[in-house]
Each structure stands twice: as structure tokens, then as C-alpha cells.
Structure 1
Amino acid sequence: MTAVDIRLDHLAIAQRLAADPRAWPVMPRFHAVDRWYHRLATEPDHEVWLLTWLPGQGTDLHDHGGSAGAFHVFSGSLIEDTVTLSPGGPPRVTARELGEGAGRRFGTRHIHRITNRSDRPAVSIHVYGPALTVMTRYRISATGLDVKTVERAGSQW
């Protein structure tokens, strides 16, 4: 695994890119069925993705395979549901709305889902360090948090 500079501020990178959309190599696109995404940059210690979200579009519960990161809402509004695990107790899901201009950092063990529950399209910028190689998708069951799938970069996204 590539070493990551823990001083790297993923949110600052996302905000810097959001400040100059004319420099993006592609303009955001929207697809009626699925979220659209495009990798904006790949660096030795991080990568940057541009994502679009029509109303109702979202992810399932997932982690980032040990990568830390951040995301910034360029336009629109997104809801992030974050999972907290407590020994012996059921998983707890906490919702947070992030509007245009808002962002948040997350660590290497972060499990969440993001959804556009508004009536407007949304655009966001996501930064991961190191670059994503694997993502685990989860479901909450009566017994706790269960692994649904493990997806690998290059073959499944």
C-alpha cells in the first residue's frame, strides 16, 4: 500500500477544484438511471472524482477500502447517512444534510451512503487518499452490519 501524507487535506483539494470549474477536464453530465462519475485527477497520494446526482439517486452503504477522504457539494444538496458501530449493539445510522458549499472529511474506517433526497440535481467532488482500490458494500440486518459485496477498481467501476 502506498504511504499517505497524513497532512494532506482532502477537503481543501476538493474545495480548490470546486472554485474553478472551468479547469475541469469535463463538464458534469446527468444520467436518468445511474449517478454519473468521472475521475478528474490522479496523483501519487490521492485521486479526485466528479459525481452528479439526480433527485433520488444515491449509493448504498459502503466504505472506501482503507482510503481516507473528503467530499464537497459543488451544487445542490446531499444527505450523508453515516454508520456507527458499537460493541454488542445494533449499528446506528445518523443523517446529515450537506448543502451547496458544504463538505466533510472522513477517515479510513468510514461507512456511509450518500443520497440526493432533494428535488434538484446535485454535483459533488470527492477526494480519496490513497486512490481507491477496493470498496466494500454493506447492508444492515437483524444481526448487525453485513458485507454484501467487495468491489475492485478497474473491474467493477
Structure 2
Amino acid sequence: MIVTTGVRADHLNTARRLADNPEAWPVAPRFDPVRRWYHRLLGESGVEAWLLTWLPGQETDLHDHGGSAGAFVVVSGTLTERTVTGADGSACLTGRVLTAGAARQFGEHHLHQIANEGPEPAVSVHVYGPELTTMTRYRLQAGRLLVAAVDRAGAQW
């Protein structure tokens, strides 16, 4: 299953190509019981790719990608993606379950939260362009999006 939002297909193609060739990954996926494990697979001018692992219960905060568009593919396991729906003052999170092989493509203004709510570990490949420089984390309070923190590449990841 591929879910797209009408943005550049090259991020999705890159994510799919990397996800389909785990033997070419420079490292094998690892699982950390304390936090999500990640490894940069690709870093070229204008695009980067990351391998992420998710143990049951691990999740991201609600976040954006600092103006970068992207795509991700679930390599194994199951992930739940939640996105913001509704207008300011009545915003809420709507979820979709993505199983192995599912892909999601998004534009530069996308906000989401990803979680492994299943019983099995999960692996995913994420591609962003341009490269991530910041990510803003948000929280929903009374239907309004509030900035919780701004993370910077090289400092927080």
C-alpha cells in the first residue's frame, strides 16, 4: 500500500529502493530498549535517508520536518501515524496503521507522530529533502497546536 499526498515522487522512490535492499545497508538494524535507534543511510546534496527501529511502545512526539518534504516505508512490523486534522481551536489527531510494505509520502508542511503500538519490533526507512536542519515538536492542548521545542541537527540528533 502506498499513501501519497501529491508531492515529489523521488523521495518515495528513494525510500522504497533503500527499504527493498537491506543487504546494502551499512549496518544491521539494532533495537534499543531506552529510545528509538537510528542510523543515517544516505546523505547527499539535497536528500538524506535514515534507518529507524521501533520497539513496542516507542514513539515520536508530534513534529514537523523543518520545511523538508519526505517519505517513509515500513520495512517490518507495524507503525501508526497520527496527523493533525481540523482547524486551530478544534485540531485533533487522526491515525492510520501502516504494515510492512506500506509507504507514506508528505510535503514540507506535514506534522505527524509515529508510534509502534503493536506487539512486535518495527523497522522503517525515512527520506527527507532537503536534509533536515530543524524539527519542531508540538503538543495539542484544547484543540490548539503549541510549540514544545525546536530540535537542531547536530545538537539533538
TM-score by structure 2 length? 0.92
1:131-142 alignment, distance < 5 Å: 131-142=131-142
Aligned residues: 151
| Per-residue deviation, 1:8 | 5.2
Q: Which runs of 5+ in 1 are unaligned?
A: 1-5
| Residue type of the alignment partner of 2:42 | A
Moved over 3 A (4+): none
Residues 78-112 of structure 1, C-alpha deviation per residue, up to 9 Å, x if partnerless?
0000013425x411211000000001100000000
Could you list the per-position Cα deviations for residues 9-66 of structure 1 after superposition, in whole angstroms to 9, with x for gaps in the alignment? Answer: 2111111011111100111000011000010010112000000000000101000000
Q: 1:33 maps to what in 2?
A: 34
Specify the alignment match of 1:124 in structure 2: 124
Could you tell me which amino acid in structure 2 is paired with residue 129 of structure 1? G
Counterpart position of 1:51: 52
Distance in structure 2 (CA, Å) of the matches to 1:35 and 1:147: 22
Aligned to 2:118, what secondary structure does the other structure show?
coil
Report if the CA contact (8 A) 2:92-2:143 is conserved.
Answer: no
State the partner residue of 2:93.
93
Identity of aligned residues (%): 62
Aligned partners of 1:8, 1:48: CA distance in 2, in Å?
Answer: 15
- Tell me the SS of whatever aligns to 1:14: helix
TM-score (norm 1): 0.92
Q: Tell me the C-alpha RMSD between the 2 structures.
A: 1.3
Unaligned runs of 5+ in 2: 1-6
Work out whether residues 29 and 53 of structure 2, in 8 Å CA contact, stay in contact via their aligned partners in 1: yes
CA change 1:143–1:117 in 2 (3 A) is: closer
Displacement of 1:113 in angstroms is 0.3
CA distance in structure 2 between the aligned counterparts of 1:124 and 1:37, rounded to whole angstroms: 10
Aligned CA distance change for structure 1 residues 43 and 33 (closer, same or farther; 3 Å): same
- Structure 1's 72 and 90: CA in aligned 2 closer, same or farther, altered over 3 A? same
2 CA distance for matches of 1:116 and 1:7?
27
